[in-house]
Amino acid sequence: MTKTKWVLVLLAAMDLLLIAMALMNYFFLFLKPTGLLIPLIMHMVAFTVIGFRSPRIPRWLTILVLMIGVFFMLISSVMLLLTHYNYTTIKSQSHQSLTIEYRDFTLGETTYLYHFYKTNFGIIGKRLDDESIRMVFQSVNNPGFDPEAALGLDNAVWIGDHTVRFPTVEGTKEVHLKSSASSDSPEMTATDIEAFIQKVENKEDGHTITVNGYKLIVRYDESSDQSWIDVSSDDSEGLIPNQQCSRIVPNVEQGYYMLEECTHRWEYKLYPLEELP
């Protein structure tokens, strides 16, 4: 196989890899800040060198391909300027990492936008689509914070290895890293929650479990034959304030175990369902 064919095969393999990863919500994190610019430049350089070195390819065709490539590079550059995302990565004590993609923009109102990527090594990240955060403020209510301060980035707290709690300007918000069964935190699994659900159904008063920093206790009143769940945490102003809920149920559509029929509102996300194989 000639060098030209090798180059074309490598480019095709790279394109297929990037497409397949994107379809599965996986990305090379070092490519995120520049978008498609690096792959476009690699294609342009390769096709230009092949075109000028090959006597069978007309010079005008090589120049045309080069001009098309420059056009798409300009379009990609403009898109990058318009979006202008920033990136940062925070780590847990066990080296689990969460990369945050964020920006703010003002068009009559200020919008803070955050996307999250789960990564173990900082090279490849899986985008957590259901965990994105969007906060919108009218001009009169604009807190005037930069995106880092609006999210509370400096005060983010890891709850185990699968949840990060952010004290945002809209209140506490939690981002859950949807781990597979093989990488779930050893102190808590979906099996533990299923067992607790059974304890609630059996009305086993006093049974306790801790999930993402929240303490859940089964309560049962024999005189009324009623049971419920006491929910408490050190941060009573957190995403789930101290209160009582009736039950925990798996919600496949939302992808979480949900606390339902609670004192302050109907339901809360408690813990992500295990991913199906």
Residues 6+ apart with CB under 8 A from 195: none
pLDDT at 95: 73
How many CB atoms are closer than 10 A to CB 210?
15
Residue with tokens 């059996």: 202
Q: Mind listing the pLDDT tens digit for each residue in 72-90?
A: 888 888 887 877 899 999 9
CB 152 within 8 A of CB 177: no
Backbone angles phi, psi at 272, to 5 degrees: -70, 140
Q: Number of C-alpha atoms within 13 angstroms, CB side, residue 180?
A: 5
Could you tell me which of 103, 106, 64 has the C-alpha nearest to residue 86? 103
Cα distance between residue 183 and residue 275, in whole Å: 11
35: left (phi > 0), else alpha (psi -120 to 50), else beta? left
Query: How high is the mean pLDDT in each 10-residue block of the chain (277 residues)?
Result: 84 92 90 86 88 84 87 84 87 84 87 91 86 83 82 86 83 71 50 90 88 86 90 67 91 88 89 62
CB 167 within 8 A of CB 149: no
Backbone angles phi, psi at 34, to 5 degrees: -105, 0
CB 190 within 8 A of CB 203: no
pLDDT at 176: 83
pLDDT at 7: 87
**What does 38-97 look like in DSSP terms, one character per residue?**
HHHHHHHHHHHHHHHH-TTS-HHHHHHHHHHHHHHHHHHHHHHHHH--EEEEEE-TT--E
pLDDT at 26: 92
Handedness of CA 223, 225, 226, 230 (dihedral sign): positive
Which residues lie across from 208 on neighbouring strands?
217
Cα distance between residue 207 and residue 23, in whole Å: 43
Q: What is the pTM of this model?
A: 0.62
